[in-house]
């Protein structure tokens, strides 16, 4: 048990290091690569916390697809980030105050791993028993996702579908329309 906690603390410290490096980096390619590394270390952390489905999804989606999209978008964007003209003191103060309040509240949270904390009492034993008796499949996460909370998964599928067609609509390349708009603007300017 203590070794698990040490592994967790080590991995989470790596994530903190990556976060601090992201604060300081100015070049876009380093930012994208550090984000990908961040997702990968988060996936390792999820395995250490017994969440194997979530680790699978985070590794494939976060460290895979998200990085591909960032790299594909980066081909069209400027390579360096410019220095801030205005001061960043006010956002920093807001973040520090909020962080202080959250850390003060963290003393009320239950200890990690306690089996008697309220989150484990209400409906989780029912789902675990139901997955064995009523549904009959070993993977409890799939049975909850597809059967007990199937309506949420339906909504999520529609969300992914909507994001796909929204991106297709935004990035559609209508060169004829652009030329028509530019010629209209010229007529307005001259007349």
Partner 1 sequence: MISSSLGVWNYWVVFLLMMIGLFLVIGRKNLLKKIVGLTIFQTSVFLLYITFGKIQGGTAPILNNINDTIYSNPLPHVLILTAIVVGVATTALGLSLVLRINSEYGSIEEDDISAQDLVDYHELIETNKNVSAKFKK
Partner 2 sequence: MDKNPILRIATKILFAPIILFGLYVQFHGDFGPGGGFQAGVIFASAFILYAIVFGLEKGKELFPLNINLFLLALGGILYGGVGIASMLLGEEFLSYNVLGTSNQAGQHIGILLVEFGVGLTVSNVMIALFYAFADFKRSGETK
Residues that bind partner 2 (CB under 8 A): 52-53, 55-57, 60-61, 64-65, 68-69, 72-73, 76, 134-139, 141-143, 145-147, 150-151, 153-154, 157-158, 160-161, 163-165, 167-168, 171, 173, 175, 178, 182
Quick check: 43 and 55 in contact, CB under 8 A? yes
Rule CB under 8 A: say whether 171 interacts with partner 1.
yes
For residue 93, the partner it binds in partner 2, partner 1, none, with Cβ less than 5 to 8 A by kind, is: none
Specify burial of residue 65 (Cβ count, 10 A radius: 0-12, 13-18, 19+): exposed
As measured in angstroms, the least distance from the Cβ of 176 to partner 1 is: 16
Rounded to the nearest 5 degrees, what angle is found at the Cα of 82, between the Cα atoms of 78 and 85?
Answer: 145
Rule CB under 8 A: say whether 114 interacts with partner 1.
yes
For residue 150, the partner it binds in partner 2, partner 1, none, with Cβ less than 5 to 8 A by kind, is: partner 2
Rule CB under 8 A: say whether 166 interacts with partner 1.
yes
Local structure of residue 84 (DSSP, 8 states): P
CB atoms within 10 A of CB 45: 19
Rule CB under 8 A: say whether 3 interacts with partner 1.
no
Cα–Cα distance for residue pair 29/32, rounded to 1 Å: 5
Cα–Cα distance for residue pair 186/191, rounded to 1 Å: 9
Cα–Cα distance for residue pair 90/95, rounded to 1 Å: 9
Rule CB under 8 A: say whether 92 interacts with partner 1.
yes
Using CB under 8 A, pick the residue from 33, 37, 49, 130 that binds partner 1.
Answer: 49
For residue 40, the partner it binds in partner 2, partner 1, none, with Cβ less than 5 to 8 A by kind, is: none
Compare residues 112 and 179 and give the one whose CB is closer to partner 1. Answer: 112
Rule CB under 8 A: say whether 144 interacts with partner 1.
yes
Backbone angles phi, psi at 27, to 5 degrees: -95, 140
What tokens were used for 113? 């791993």
């Amino acid at each position: 048990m203590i070794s698990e906690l040490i592994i967790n603390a080590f991995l989470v410290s790596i994530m903190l290091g990556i976060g601090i490096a992201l604060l300081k980096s100015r070049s876009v390619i380093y930012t994208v690569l550090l984000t990908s590394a961040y997702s990968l270390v988060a996936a390792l952390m999820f395995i250490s916390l017994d969440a194997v489905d979530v680790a699978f999804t985070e590794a494939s989606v976060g460290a895979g697809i998200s990085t591909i999209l960032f790299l594909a978008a980066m081909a069209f964007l400027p390579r360096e980030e410019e220095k801030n003209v205005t001061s960043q003191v006010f956002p920093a103060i807001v973040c520090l105050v909020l962080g202080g309040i959250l850390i003060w509240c963290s003393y009320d949270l239950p200890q990690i791993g306690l089996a008697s904390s309220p989150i484990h009492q209400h409906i989780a034993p029912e789902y675990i028993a139901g997955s064995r008796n009523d549904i009959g499949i070993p993977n409890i996460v799939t049975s909850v996702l597809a059967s007990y909370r199937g309506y949420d998964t339906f909504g999520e599928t529609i969300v992914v579908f909507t994001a796909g067609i929204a991106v297709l609509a935004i990035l559609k390349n209508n060169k004829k329309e652009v030329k028509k708009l530019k010629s209209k603007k010229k007529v307005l300017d001259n007349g």
